Amino acid sequence: MDVRFPADAASVLTKAGWFPGRRQLPRAEQWADALINHSSPEGHRHSVFPAAVEAWAEFGGLTVDLEGAGRDQARTPFTIDPMAGLHQPRTLADLGRALDLPLAPLGEERDGQALLAIDALGRVYSLDHTGEWFLGQTMDRALTTLIVGTTPERLQFVADAL
């Protein structure tokens, strides 16, 4: 049997309401519609793509309330709710250009202290006042990073030489 999550992460997710096969597609589609129809005052719009909708369908609405020491750093409470990033289309578009992939909002950490985002390949990021962080190649890895408290990788960008 293929195990998606370490036992401690699976336990936390189960307590938050996740279960294998969870799929709330109508809710994910409502979020997609709301994001697509929103634009910033400057005209920036959100990107919506299959990887985001799939993540919202499986994990959307989950709130993981945990604190304390993790494996490498403090564990991070978070909520998977793309509407937390509703007013951040420009921020996500800017990072998306740097990554050369569109990004969609995923949720937030620490009651809004960081924005969670997902790219079109399903990779997950956290954006906070200190920078941008890579949480994992997949939702499963990213959730494990947050729950277990492993250190995420800081994104580094090199300015193009003129």
Give the mean pLDDT per block of 10 residues along the chain (162 residues): 84 96 97 96 95 98 93 94 97 95 97 97 97 97 97 80 42
Distance CA 63, CA 97 (A): 29
Sign (positive/negative) of CA torsion 46, 50, 55, 60?
A: positive
Q: What is the pLDDT of residue 82?
A: 98
Residue 153 β-bridge partners: 134
Q: pLDDT value at position 2?
A: 57
Residue 151 identity:
T
What is the pLDDT, as a whole number, of residue 124? 98
Cα distances (angstroms) measured from residue 148 to each of 20, 75, 106, 134, 151: 19, 6, 19, 15, 9
